Each structure stands twice: as C-alpha cells, then as structure tokens.
Amino acid sequence: METVVVTGVAGFIGSNLADHLLAKGYKVLGLDNFSTGKTKFLESANNHPNFKLIVCDLSDINSFKDSLSGYDCVFHLAANADVRFGIEHPNKDLEQNTIVTFNVLEAMRANNITKIIFSSTGSVYGESLIIPTPEDCPMPIQTSLYGASKLAAESMIQAYCEGFNFQSWIFRFVSVLGERYIHGHVYDFYDKLSKNPNSLSILGNGHQTKSYIYVSDCIEAMILGVEKANRKVNIINLGTPETIEVFDSIKIITEFMDINPKIIPQDSIRGWVGDNPMIFLDTTKMNSFGWQPRVSIRDGIIKTLKWLRSNEWIFVEFEKNK
Amino acid sequence: METVVVTGVAGFIGSNLADHLLAKGYKVLGLDNFSTGKTKFLESANNHPNFKLIVCDLSDINSFKDSLSGYDCVFHLAANADVRFGIEHPNKDLEQNTIVTFNVLEAMRANNITKIIFSSTGSVYGESLIIPTPEDCPMPIQTSLYGASKLAAESMIQAYCEGFNFQSWIFRFVSVLGERYIHGHVYDFYDKLSKNPNSLSILGNGHQTKSYIYVSDCIEAMILGVEKANRKVNIINLGTPETIEVFDSIKIITEFMDINPKIIPQDSIRGWVGDNPMIFLDTTKMNSFGWQPRVSIRDGIIKTLKWLRSNEWIFVEFEKNK
C-alpha cells in the first residue's frame, strides 16, 4: 500500500482526492489549516482507518515538517485559489502559493520524500495566443498574481527535480466543478439567483469562453498521469474537449432553477483584471495515457448545482466568514 | 531630468549603471545592503551631486519604501546572483530574488511609481532546445533555483503590469563581464591561477558553451531598450552574437597571464547541478532597436582581466568575507 500526503485536504479537490485514494487502498495523511477547508468535507475520510488529519499552517514549516516522515509522496493542493481577488491583497498569492510550496518542498527534502504532485492552473498561460493551448506553448506573459504565484511554484518544483532528484507531476487545470465546489461562477450565480431570481449582474460581457472539468475526472486523470508519466518533470494539462460561454452556463443554471432572470452583462471582454477571455487547454498529452473525461461540462454544472441545492449550509457558512 | 532608483547599486552592474546614468544627467537614488556590494564601486557616484545612497535591506520593505517617493522609475538589479550555489541554500534565491522583487513592486505601488526595469537572466530558459533562444521559445523547464526565482520575479512584475498598470522592461542577460566583475568563471580562474599557475581544475568538461556580454554594452542596451520598447510588458534578451567554450576562455586568460597550466576538466557536460551546457540567446528583438554590442567576448574577457589585475584588493576582501 502506498502512503500519501494531501495538503489542502479539507478543500474541494483535496477532500474528493482523499476519499478517492482511501477507496483505492492508500494510506492518507491530510494537512489543512481550515482557512477555507471544511470539516464536513472530511466526514467520510475521518471515519476511515487509513486517514490521519493534521491541522497545521503550511506557512510555518515547523508545524508540519516532522509529520511527513515515512510517506511516499505529496499531493500539494493547498493554495489560495481566489484568482479574481489577487490585486486586492497581492501578498496572498505569494505567501499561500509560492512560499508555501517552498515550505512543502523543504519539508519533503527533510524527510527524503521526492515525489510531488502539484495542482497548477491553466492561468499560467496568461492570454495564450495558441488555443487550445499545449503545455509547450510559447513562454507566456502572466496576467494575474494567481498565475504568477503558481508558475513560481511550478518553477521551484522543477528546480528541486534537477537539484535534489525530485520527480514531479505538475497538472495545469482548467476550472474544476463538482461536489464540494465552493467558489467560482456556478457557486456565485446560484447564490445570487437564490437571493434574487429576477436579475443577475455578471462580470464581463458574458462571452468569456471557458472550459470546466468535473472533479472525479480530474482526480482520475491525476492518478493515471502519475502512473503513466515517468519523466523527471511531467507537465500535464487537464481539461475537457469542450468549451462553454458564460451566457450558456447561466442558461443551464437558470433552467435547473426554473427561473428566467434578466441578465445584466458588462461592456468588457474580461470579467475582472487578469481574467482570461478564452481558456481552452490542449489535453493531447493526458489523452495519450488513455484518459478521457466522462462528464460533459453541462453535466458537471448540473451535478454541481444538485450538490449546492442539497448543501445550502455552505452559503450560510460563507456569509458568517465574510 | 529623469529621476531613477537603482537597487543593488553597489554591485557590479548596478554601480556601472549608476555612473552611466549620472553621466547622462539622471538623478539617481541608489539602494544597497552591501552584502556583496562594495563601497569602492561607488567612489565616483558618491562624488556626484545627483547621487544619493541609502543603505537598506530590501527584504524589509519599511527600510526603503518611503525613500522612493517622487522617483520616476526603478532599475531593480539587486539579487542573489550565485546561480551555482542554489542547492546549498535553497531559501536564498526565493528570499533575495522573488520576495525582494515583491517588496520592490509594493514599495513602487505605494509611491505611484509604475515603471520597472528588471535584470533577469537567460537561466530562465533552463536547457532550451532552441538555440539561439528567442524570448518566446516554448515554456521551459527550470533547472536552477536561481532561474526559478528570477522567472517568479518576472511573472509577478508582469502581473503588476496587468493588475496595477505598471510598465516593465525585463532584460534576460547572458553572463556579464567587465570592470567590477566580482564573481563567475573569469574571476575564479584568475584567482586560482594567481595562486597556482601550474594547474587549474575546472567544473565540467570544458566544452560548456556560453555567451558573455560586456557591461557597458549591456547598460547601453538597457537604456536604449527602455526608450524604444513601448509595450506594457517588454521582454528583451541581451547577449552577443558569439559564443565561447570554457576551454577557449581559459586560453585567453592563460595567455593574458603568460602561463601554461595543466587544465584538469571533469567528466561532465555540466559544471554544476543546474548548469546549462549551452547558453546562446537570440537578440533579434534588441538588435531591431538599432543596438549591437561593441565589445567582443575576447575583448570583454581581457578588459575584465585588466581590471582584476589592477584591483587585487577584491580577492583579499573576498577571502575576509569567506
């Protein structure tokens, strides 16, 4: 049995990954500071004999370094994922994404753990001129502090592979949807429309074109990618072969909610500073390992909406933390 | 008259840049913590009425933030430049290159300064497969913590351009040679051969192929690049149209010193972990602004050797600081 550390284990992807790994027979150590993670997401994991949770802050290496002893690899998912709010607190991406990744790498080195799986983002491509964007597209220009901090983390991981014989799997995701999804456009729209079903103001002109992957597709891809990709540094895009415009995803949401609000767009091709009007990743590399997503964007949105409808406590909790 | 901040002003490139800018009529505020900078390098600048020096540590933003008030732009040159020793102290590149750059950006933002000129490095290309390497080559894999930390800094600067309407000129240098050059292979070889003219052990097999630019060519290019390049983010390679093998540069050094040592290479294509066996940058973009280097690699090495011979105090000082 393999033993695995998951950082950010109480988050959206982290908790789903932990459940998945436990079901496959892995022993899982989960780390989280519960700044955005939820205890409720670990209800199932916490009842599993192979799961251990440590509440710690990854920005303090001494709070978790020793606990990694004896594990085989680290899935480093903990991050500030608020891509939209980078310019409101520019230090947050640096601290929670770049510096925390450095701490994770150093804690791994102290424990002779050399395998790291990292959740990066298609945002590192900035506004790529090549669409769908392949992993080896021309060096991009960063347009968000989030993308910059993730590229910085990727770069350090790569340097550790060269300098300290680490092996890495860097997954560049499109946005992920599914159960336990607690931020992003489907969440925001559902929340706003629950409060006011008559109108919806949206960020940008509504024609921003995005791609979304369903969380279990994403997790299966990560696990398969680690099995199949054997270079020192493995950089792998994860996304779906489809895209969807913001307007169309609103249509799916309003149909699901059975409402017909007035949609109020802005006169801007970007939803916010650093928003990418077109995200679509070339997943040829991941597909070559025999992977295809099982869930369409439409079905992923609907699954997400069903989960949100059955878990309205999440909106209450969010309001409390505001 | 333009007013300019130069970080790392007591360093090799910083002090030469300050002298150059002062001669051109700029008012210069220099910042340095003298961790590797030398007071002697500022002898000329310190006698100039338009020069002001503040001794401060850029890792503490409060030590310099207020002093930037009223300046037009920042040449951010301060850095840990020890590309070779990254794996001996992995935190140093993160702290002195990435985090310090963030502090500089934040200090600029606090003072409404939006123009930054940044000394990056060809090391961000890792081991590029395209040689000579253009600015928009395929996204590279980082092979050194130094390269990773500089790419992280570049990325933050780019995100500040998008998020806070900064304008940036990011220069990716090959190695720089010339007066006040105090680390790197010419320095090391001259130092070792002065102590033992009979033999010289070198790092790597001697066939590593590098490109070097002479410091005044580099400075003229930076100043011209800032004048001519007008995008929000301007990324510009700086190098020479020549390359030289380590063996050939040793030949120039031994001829200059009039000695004939036994050269002892290693059986490795890399001089150290993360060393790039072939650095050669495509400078078409910089050339398109009407710039060409005036000094050949050979002449740059000889100028450097002449300066080292007249400034042997530098070796004494280095020994003291060991």
- Cβ neighbours for B5, distance < 8 A, ≥ 6 positions apart: B28, B29, B30, B31, B68, B71, B73, B74, B75, B113
Mean pLDDT of A152-160: 98
Classified as helix, coil or strand, A20 is: helix
Task: Compute the nearest-CA separation of B268 from chain A (Å).
Answer: 15
Q: How confident is the model at residue B45 (pLDDT cuts 50, 70, 90)?
A: very high
Classified as helix, coil or strand, A48 is: coil
Q: How confident is the model at residue A46 (pLDDT cuts 50, 70, 90)?
A: very high
Per the listing, tokens 């960020």 go with: A203
Q: What is the largest CA-CA distance in chain A?
A: 57
pLDDT, residue B298, reads 97
| Domain ranges, ordered by start, for chain A | 3-176+212-238, 179-210+242-279+295-321
**Domain A3-176+212-238, what architecture?**
3-Layer(aba) Sandwich (3.40)
* Mutate: best of B106, B142, B172, B282, partner A, most A CBs <10 A: B142
Task: Compute the nearest-CA separation of B128 from chain A (Å).
Answer: 12
- Rounded CA-CA distance A248/A246 in Å is 5
**Strand bridging mode B244-245 / B209-210:** antiparallel
Interface contact A233, partner B, CB < 8 A:
yes
Percent of chain A having pLDDT more than 90? Answer: 85
Chain A residues with CB inside 8 Å of B142's CB? Answer: 154-156, 158-159, 162
pLDDT, residue A322, reads 56
Reported as a single tens digit per residue, the pLDDT across B16-26 is 999 999 999 99
The mean of the pLDDT values for chain A is: 94
Beta bridge partners of A74: A5, A116
**Topology (CATH) of A179-210+242-279+295-321:** UDP-galactose 4-epimerase; domain 1 (3.90.25)
The mean of the pLDDT values for chain B is: 94
The answer to whether B139 contacts A139, with C-beta atoms less than 8 Å apart, is: yes
SS (H, E, C) chain B: CCEEEEECCCCHHHHHHHHHHHHCCCEEEEEECCCCCCHHHHHHHHCCCCEEEEECCCCCHHHCHHHHCCCCEEEECCCCCCHHHHHHCHHHHHHHHHHHHHHHHHHHHHCCCCEEEEEEEHHHHCCCCCCCECCCCECCCCCCHHHHHHHHHHHHHHHHHHHHCCEEEEEEECEEECCCCCCCHHHHHHHHHHHCCCEEECCCCCCCEECEEEHHHHHHHHHHHHHHCCCCEEEEEECCCCCEEHHHHHHHHHHHHCCCCEEECCCCCCCCCCCCCECCECCHHHHCCCCCCCCCHHHHHHHHHHHHHHCCHHHHHHHHHC
Look at A168 and A183; give whichever has higher pLDDT. A168
Mean pLDDT of A132-144: 96
B315 pLDDT above the threshold of 90:
no
Chain B residues with CB inside 8 Å of A99's CB? Answer: 94, 99
A77, two tokens: 């998912």
- Rounded CA-CA distance A88/A97 in Å is 16
Per the listing, tokens 């090799």 go with: B12
Q: How confident is the model at residue B321 (pLDDT cuts 50, 70, 90)?
A: low
User: In the 8-state DSSP scheme, what is residue A94?
Assistant: I
Q: Do B3-176+212-238 and B181-210+242-321 have matching folds? A: no
- Rounded CA-CA distance B15/B216 in Å is 11
Q: How confident is the model at residue A321 (pLDDT cuts 50, 70, 90)?
A: low
Chain B residues with CB inside 8 Å of A147's CB? Answer: 155, 159
B82 pLDDT above the threshold of 90:
no
Measured over the CA atoms of residue B63, residue B35, residue B223 and residue B286, the dihedral's sign is negative
pLDDT, residue B322, reads 56
How many contacts (CB atoms, under 8 Å) link A and B?
127
pLDDT, residue B151, reads 98
Classified as helix, coil or strand, A212 is: strand
The answer to whether B90 contacts A99, with C-beta atoms less than 8 Å apart, is: no
Chain A residues with CB inside 8 Å of B91's CB? Answer: 102, 106
Interface contact A158, partner B, CB < 8 A:
yes
pLDDT, residue A241, reads 94
Interface contact B158, partner A, CB < 8 A:
yes
Task: Compute the nearest-CA separation of B133 from chain A (Å).
Answer: 11
Q: How confident is the model at residue A247 (pLDDT cuts 50, 70, 90)?
A: very high
pTM, entire model: 0.95
Reported as a single tens digit per residue, the pLDDT across B214-225 is 999 999 999 999
Per the listing, tokens 């780019």 go with: B158
Mean pLDDT of A264-292: 89
The answer to whether A136 contacts B135, with C-beta atoms less than 8 Å apart, is: no
Contact (CB, 8 A) for B120 and B171: yes
pLDDT, residue B88, reads 82
Confirm whether the ipTM is greater than 0.90. yes
B320 pLDDT above the threshold of 70:
no
pLDDT, residue B317, reads 75
Task: CATH number for B181-210+242-321: choose from 3.90.25.10, 3.40.630.30, 3.30.70.1090, 3.40.50.720.
Answer: 3.90.25.10
pLDDT, residue A53, reads 98
Chain A residues with CB inside 8 Å of B233's CB? Answer: 141
Interface contact B141, partner A, CB < 8 A:
yes
Reported as a single tens digit per residue, the pLDDT across B251-296 is 999 999 999 999 999 888 888 777 788 889 999 999 999 999 999 9
Mean pLDDT of B111-133: 96
Q: How confident is the model at residue B84 (pLDDT cuts 50, 70, 90)?
A: confident
